[in-house]
Amino acid sequence: MDACFELLLLNKEPLDSLECYQKTITWEGIEYPQDHKYYIWGKYIRLVESILPKKICNYLPTSFAEQEWTHLSVKGQILDLLELEVNGLEINWEGKTLDSLLKLLLTPQNRWVIVFEWQCDQINKTYYLGINECISKFKDNLKYGKQREGFIVLSAN
């Protein structure tokens, strides 16, 4: 699927419950990072921590744009597999679903942002939703036969 899915978190504490990795190189006894830190959730989801792209900040209201966000890009097979599941194929997530990950990460947050960029460059609308409504909106957008839209969801609290 040609889409980008990103999370913005203010509080990094929930990430402590995920497996964290970062490639490093050791030179003269000192370890240096060689790539972005990433987190694993099950066998299909990887969250890559990186700098928040300016283009996303342009879509945020001032009160959100001024925050210090942890930017996580959702990588792996998750979007393709979730699209198949939403459209009727049974997927064995082994208990590590995107729904459970989003609830784990977003519930302790005062504010959060979800970004779904169709074609990795299309954002049509901004929504203020709760976590469950956000998950429903995201899944509904993956149904076959629907006009796909890119969107940003800002926490409704």
pLDDT band at 155 (very low <50, low <70, confident <90, very high): very high
pLDDT over 80 at 51, yes or no:
yes
Dist CA 153 CA 127 (whole Å): 5
On the question of pLDDT at 124 being above 90, the answer is: yes
Mean pLDDT of 87-107: 94
| Local confidence band at 21 (pLDDT 50, 70, 90 cut-offs) | very high
What is the structure's pLDDT at 45? 94
Above 80 in pLDDT, residue 60?
Answer: yes
Read off the amino acid at residue 43.
K
Q: Following DSSP, what letter does each residue of 41-79 receive, concatenated?
A: ETTTEEEEEEPPPHHHHTTS-HHHHTS-PEEEEEESSHH
Which pLDDT band holds residue 109 (cuts at 50, 70, 90)? very high
Structure tokens at 108: 């302790």
Average pLDDT over residues 22-29: 89
Mean pLDDT of 100-106: 96
pLDDT exceeds 80 at position 157: no
pLDDT at 1: 75
Beta bridge partner(s), residue 50? 71
**Residue 24: what pLDDT?**
85
